[in-house]
Amino acid sequence: MLIVDDILDTGGTLRLLRAAMERQEPASVRTCVLLRKMRPEALATPCEFVGFDIPDVFVVGCGLDYDDLYRNMPFVGVLDQHAVTP
């Protein structure tokens, strides 16, 4: 079984999904992410396939959004602090 996710940030989603899938007793469970943030929680979460390691910044584009904005950008970019409303 392969679990595919967009971004590995805190690791909570992948840990939850992996545990749920392993209870089904498949032959194997592996995970794949497009982006893994370089932060301790993400690096400590088992992930067999990683597209890109990125700094711990807020990214948007290719389905990743901020307040329903920037999701449709055809690339992944760092969201500037000035674009974030308090």
For the chain, give me the number of helices (H) and strands (E)? 2, 5
Catalytic position from the list 9, 53, 67, 80: 9
CA 62, CA 57: separation in Å to the nearest integer?
16
Residue 9 annotated to the active site: yes
By CB neighbour count within 10 A (0-12 exposed, 13-18 middle, 19+ buried), where does 75 fall?
exposed
From the list 40, 71, 24, 73, the residue with the least C-alpha distance to 8 is 40
> So which residues are the catalytic ones?
9
